A and B are shown apart, each in its own frame.
Chain A
């Protein structure tokens, strides 16, 4: 059971996040960076499957040099090795380019049975990478799952959406994306932290993956951001004192706003 887990270093959701003035991309320097929590769950799920079925867990991250911190964390949780795709040409990549790079990088790992990702990253929130990746790799996609099981060469999963729960099966190899309901990730132990220092991290460039730098990054993006402005601060709102007819007053207000 060889598993590749996609991990991403994201700005901590607690810190203030900004876009750079120069090209409207995320200002990754100004915020504390952490391993995306949803990825911790993806790593946890991979480790659980490994405990049950053996094999190797490889973490794969695309991102600037700082992403090594996220990779270290995944390795100290227990993943066996890592691939870090880092290249200045990748700056500003859209989801299509990102998926292309990840697909190529997955291609460097031998005998992959399963790719596990978080359903969406907390920074970009496109939520499309797992699906695009599956398409590029020609693999079945089992996305947004809250439960995964491996039965022989079949992956069985519960996909949960706003509409309800679907029970899915696919033949391995496959791409799975998990939601925050999947598990509670473990905290790395000191043994894991020390072992992580000795684990192998392959750093690859765009050229190493056989891609043309013009296909990725800002130049390769299919759309471009022309302008960005911070959300206007919320206005004070209107206060309704309830002296017995608060309900009626709220209803009147909503009618006035043509909301009811």
Chain B
């Protein structure tokens, strides 16, 4: 029979991150959020705890854990705050995983120890101002000139790309034309501070305000030929694989947000009174919270199962898409209901549910929109044009 109970070490990790989130993140994150400020000190502490190294082997400075351990950490962080959770998610699954999975031994030795320690952050530049869901529409180019790549183009909405501790961005670029006439897409590692690589100022965002998101531009930006990540022309396939894993991580993050809504509501409905009763005594409120619990539970099972398949080396594309879809919708629905339950206070930024409300929407957009998840699921069912 199936068993979704956590092993002892996963449970200890979950508890440790829960404690960390409550003690170190919850008391201060609201102020960072309000000031649109990146919380360097919190990220440094996450680094010292080894969170950025969770799924990597010890020889590269990692914790010798796995991707599920990362998911548990993301869930517990997002239960308190999504900005720090996405900083970890993007740093690991978009910044470090592509190097670990496809990079050369030299690239891994050079970058992974600092990325695993959280001393540096990595970013992943796929989206452009003119292309997102249809990533193959990207226009950034990288041309080989002697023993250097020359990168030109613009990337949009890139997480972790402009912090003081950002070390590199892995950029998806067109490096030529394939025999079938389609674009040859490759991944190029561009270290921060490379001449010709400009990071614009932070976007003003609806949510995730304590995370770093920027537009990047490359003008005759030169990096050594050895900065190719993986095989030439395999860039697109590599990204798709990275994104499948990233979806499971985002699903975990969404479950955390959905759970955070329940945590906050359970506390509030036992205190707030209206018409002579605690609002938690009214069935209309109880049913809302019961539905929140149902959504969260289902989404959690979905991501546990997708992660289990991933770790066992089984196909998990369909399960990852399902998990990401149900989890981001659970997060969005729970955030809306939690805000409703909090009434006017729910609309105030000083309460966490207001932050949850603002942070939930992006989960239905980033790392594949809900429409894209449905497309993937339909395709897995053999449906197509």
Contacts and interface: CB of A to CB of B under 8 A. Distances in A.
B379 interface: no
B13 A190 contact: yes
Interface string A70-81: 001100100000
Given A72-B12, A193-B9, A193-B13, A186 B50 contact: no
A189 B12 contact: no
Contacts of A200: none
A76 B19 CA distance: 15
Interface stretch (B58-66, B80-88, B278-286, B322-330): B58-66
B135 interface: no
A189 B19 contact: no
B201 interface: no
A187 B19 contact: yes
A125 interface: no
A187 B118 CA distance: 15
Interface in A186-205: 186-191, 193-194, 197
Nearest to A77: B16
Contact of A190 (B8, B19, B48, B50): B50
Contact of A194 (B9, B19, B48): B9
B49 A189 contact: yes
Interface in B34-90: 45, 48-50, 54, 58, 63-65, 69
Contacts of A194: 9, 64-65
Contacts of B9: 190, 193-194, 197
Contacts of A187: 16, 19-20, 45, 48-49
B20 A190 contact: no
Interface string B1-32: 00000001100110010011000000000000
Nearest to A69: B12
Interface string B228-260: 000000000000000000000000000000000
Interface size class of B (residues with CB under 8 A): 10 to 19
A16 to B, nearest CB: 16
A191 B13 CA distance: 10
Interface size class of A (residues with CB under 8 A): 10 to 19
In this complex, the member of A72, A191, A193, A197 whose beta carbon has the largest number of chain B beta carbons within 10 angstroms is A193
Nearest to B55: A190
Interface in A175-215: 186-191, 193-194, 197
A186 B69 contact: no
B8 A189 contact: no
B65 A197 contact: no
Interface string A158-187: 000000000000000000000000000011
Contacts of B16: 187-188, 193
B341 to A, nearest CB: 24
A50 B50 CA distance: 20
Contacts of A193: 9, 12-13, 16
A249 B16 CA distance: 51
Contacts of A72: 12
In this complex, the member of A72, A73, A187 whose beta carbon has the largest number of chain B beta carbons within 10 angstroms is A187
A41 to B, nearest CB: 14
Contacts of A191: 50, 58, 63-65
Nearest to B20: A187
B64 A76 contact: no
Contact of B63 (A73, A186, A190, A197): A190
Contacts of A197: 8-9
B58 A190 contact: no
Nearest to B58: A191
B54 A186 contact: no
B253 to A, nearest CB: 18
Contacts of B20: 187
A21 B16 CA distance: 34
Contacts of A188: 12, 16, 49
Nearest to A195: B64
A193 B73 CA distance: 14
15 contacts: A72-B12, A73-B12, A187-B19, A187-B20, A188-B16, A190-B13, A190-B50, A190-B54, A190-B64, A190-B69, A191-B64, A194-B9, A194-B65, A197-B8, A197-B9
Given A188-B12, A189-B63, 18 more contacts: A72-B12, A73-B12, A76-B12, A186-B49, A187-B16, A187-B19, A187-B49, A189-B50, A190-B54, A190-B63, A190-B64, A191-B50, A191-B58, A191-B64, A191-B65, A193-B9, A194-B9, A197-B9
Interface of B: 8-9, 12-13, 16, 19-20, 45, 48-50, 54, 58, 63-65, 69
